[in-house]
Amino acid sequence: MKLSEVLKRTGCLASNIKDDPEITGISYDSRKTLPGDLFVAIRGFNSDGMEFIPKALKAGASAVICDREPEDNIPYVLVKDCRETLALASCAFFGEPSKEMKMIGVTGTNGKTTTTYLVKHMLETLVPSKIGLIGTNGIMIGQEYIHSDYTTPESFELQKLFREMADKGCTYCVMEVSSHSLALSRVAGIHYDVAMFTNLTQDHLDFHKTMEEYASVKKSLFSRCDIACTNLDDARGLYMVEGSPARLITISAEGREADLRAENTELSASGVTFDAVYGDESARAHLAIPGLFSVHNALGVISIGLALGFSLKDCCESLSTATGVKGRMEVVPTDGDYSVIIDYSHTPDSLKNALETLKPLTRGTLYALFGCGGDRDKLKRPIMGEVAAKYADFCIVTTDNPRTEDPEEIIKEILEGVENAGTPYVSICDRPSAIRWAIDKAGPGDVILLAGKGHEDYQVVGKTKHHMDEREIVAGYLSERKQKGSSQC
């Protein structure tokens, strides 16, 4: 593809390239640059792509995209925003693949992963084709699973995935749209048929600095969609769609006047059941995931189905056959009359929701085992501690992904919110040891919530990922206890 074709959607401020070279690929990492590539010199958090232009040229790059004029006489195109240019150039290079599918974007703090998986399930029951999914738990093309390190991949990889999905027969793609992907232009150039807002609570303030900035970034999704679905039970539900040209579908699970609402709601350990009311229509809906938040998630899924033209009855019926999502209120087998639940709840609001859901189902003690990630929003650490102490009967403060921070210092910051509540607690830095301690303490009717890791099967210490799957830790310790018990007989 010619350079002019790759850059047809971008704004060129200046260039010293007189011919129109053939571009055989796009790169933004000089270590991965191949002959014929267009190298985009992105400014990173720890380095500047301009520094790696010589390496990219040595590797065979045909031209360079930059936001400042380079000092040396190299073939360059000057643009205002390298990240946006990378996204738009990638769209063009792969032939605008997102236009070949119905695009569904879900944004918000909590509920994105569950919502996208449920939407995928709904579509698979209603349309005779593969469905693509991109999100925190990974990427799926039909039933094919692909691991991903990011909720929303970098724009070049994202467009490459769209191309693969379209070529393999996907007619719909449902994806989590993170605030980082919006702020960093990873989703630039994508128009969504439907966009959904779940909720907004404190998270990622290490990146966005303020809740106002965080909300503003999320809001930008709704300027690029045809139909916007928004949750009126969230204080920023209407803010998200202010000024949006999209057709609007509002939802409420808590009695507010909305286009789609839940009535006659029943909550139980087996899930949620309610009447989904849309205009003059009504259909009974059931989702086998407990908690009021599941009503919100279910309504979000139904609203997306309605926006795509499916009937209320069909949307509700599809939910009744849906199962849980890995790491979202996931029940782990135990060896006695107590329960272990794994949940990704890593924000104050999601931890509160998880504990509020489990409390009525707990006949004994509700244990909250949790930590906070290092190199992330420090302001939420004492808040997480306060929430756990308020809604759990016993707190076990431990390590999450400490990254480059001292895990003991992270725990100290969490304990600021725990210590004044009067709720009993213990701090055990090593997470596997904390899980084993909780299992030893568990009695009849107790529930242990392992919060924060969810689907993750690793722990990041320093800059290294170490394998750590909580399911394996629980199963391994139970097996060890069984063997010890047998040997003592």
User: Residues 246-256: pLDDT tens digits?
Assistant: 999 999 999 99
- What are the structural domain ranges in the chain? 3-93, 97-319, 330-488
Q: How far apart are CA 204 and CA 373, in angstroms?
A: 11
- What is the pLDDT averaged over residues 274-303? 94
Q: How far apart are CA 63 and CA 247, in angstroms?
A: 42
| pLDDT for the residue numbered 436 | 97
| pLDDT for the residue numbered 390 | 96
Contacts of 489 (CB under 8 A, 6+ apart): none
pLDDT surpasses 70 at 202: no
- What is the pLDDT averaged over residues 135-158? 90
CATH 3.40.1390.10 is right for the domain spanning 3-93 = yes
| pLDDT for the residue numbered 487 | 65
pLDDT surpasses 70 at 207: no
- What is the pLDDT averaged over residues 332-336? 90
Q: Give, in order, the Cα–Cα distances in Å from 45 to each of 58, 184, 381.
A: 24, 11, 23
Identity of residue 333: P
Q: Give, in order, the Cα–Cα distances in Å from 368 to each of 159, 313, 340, 354, 458.
A: 40, 38, 10, 10, 20
* pLDDT, tens digit (0-9, with 9 covering 90-100), for 341-390: 999 999 998 899 899 989 988 989 999 999 999 998 899 999 999 999 99
Q: CA 432, 434, 440, 444 torsion: positive or negative?
A: negative
Q: How does residue 396 score in pLDDT terms, banded at 50, 70 and 90?
A: very high
Rg over alpha carbons for the chain, rounded to the nearest Å, is 24
- Give me the chain's average pLDDT, please: 92
Reading the block at residue 165, the tokens are 């999905």
Q: How does residue 201 score in pLDDT terms, banded at 50, 70 and 90?
A: confident
What is 330-488's CATH topology?
A: Protein-Tyrosine Phosphatase; Chain A (3.90.190)
| 229, HSE (Cβ side, Cα atoms, 13 Å) | 29
How large a percentage of the chain has pLDDT more than 70?
97
| pLDDT for the residue numbered 46 | 74
pLDDT surpasses 70 at 206: no
Reading the block at residue 26, the tokens are 């796009």
pLDDT surpasses 60 at 208: no
pLDDT surpasses 70 at 459: yes
Beta strand pairing call for 138-141 and 170-176: unpaired
- What is the pLDDT averaged over residues 216-226? 94
Phi and psi dihedrals of 453, rounded to 5?
-90, -40
Q: How far apart are CA 69 and CA 15, in angstroms?
A: 9
Global pTM reads: 0.82
Closest CA to 59 of 91, 24, 84, 88: 24
pLDDT surpasses 60 at 245: yes
The length of the chain is 489
Q: How far apart are CA 414 and CA 410, in angstroms?
A: 6
Contacts of 453 (CB under 8 A, 6+ apart): 327, 342, 344, 400, 459, 468, 470
| pLDDT for the residue numbered 323 | 83
Closest CA to 302 of 291, 286, 288: 286
* pLDDT, tens digit (0-9, with 9 covering 90-100), for 397-424: 999 999 999 999 999 999 999 998 899 9
Query: How crowded is residue 226: how many other Cβ atoms within 10 Å of its Cβ?
Result: 15
- What is the pLDDT averaged over residues 169-181? 94
Contacts of 440 (CB under 8 A, 6+ apart): none
* Range with lowest mean pLDDT among 22-31, 322-331, 445-454: 322-331
Comparing 202 with 49, the larger pLDDT belongs to: 49
- What is the pLDDT averaged over residues 6-34? 92
Q: CA 302, 305, 307, 309 torsion: positive or negative?
A: negative
According to CATH, the superfamily of the domain at 97-319 is Mur-like, catalytic domain (3.40.1190.10)
* Range with lowest mean pLDDT among 202-211, 295-304, 345-354, 464-473: 202-211
| pLDDT for the residue numbered 489 | 54
3-state secondary structure the chain: CEHHHHCCCCCCCEECCCCCCECCEEECCHHHCCCCEEEECCECCCCEHHHHHHHHHHCCCCEEEECCCCCCCCCEEECCCHHHHHHHHHHHHCCCHHHHCEEEEEECCCCHHHHHHHHHHHHHHHCCCEEEEEECCEEEECCEEECCCCCCCCHHHHHHHHHHHHHCCEEEEEEECCHHHHHCCCCCCCCEEEEEECCCCCCCHHHHCCHHHHHHHHHHHHHCEEEEEEECCCCCHHHHHCCCCCEEEEEECCCCCCCEEEEEEEEECCEEEEEEEECCEEEEEEECCCCHHHHHHHHHHHHHHHHCCCCHHHHHHHHCCCCCCCCCCEEECCCCCEEEEEECCCCHHHHHHHHHHHHHHCCCCEEEEECCCCCCCCCHHHHHHHHHHHHCCEEEECCCCCECCCHHHHHHHHHHHHCCCCCCEEECCCHHHHHHHHHHHCCCCEEEEEECCCCCCEEEECCEEEECCHHHHHHHHHHHHHHHHHHHC
Angle between helices 292-307 and 348-358 (to 10 degrees): 110
pLDDT surpasses 80 at 167: yes
Contacts of 344 (CB under 8 A, 6+ apart): 113, 136, 327, 328, 350, 451, 452, 453, 454, 455, 456
Identity of residue 245: P
Q: How far apart are CA 217 and CA 477, in angstroms?
A: 44
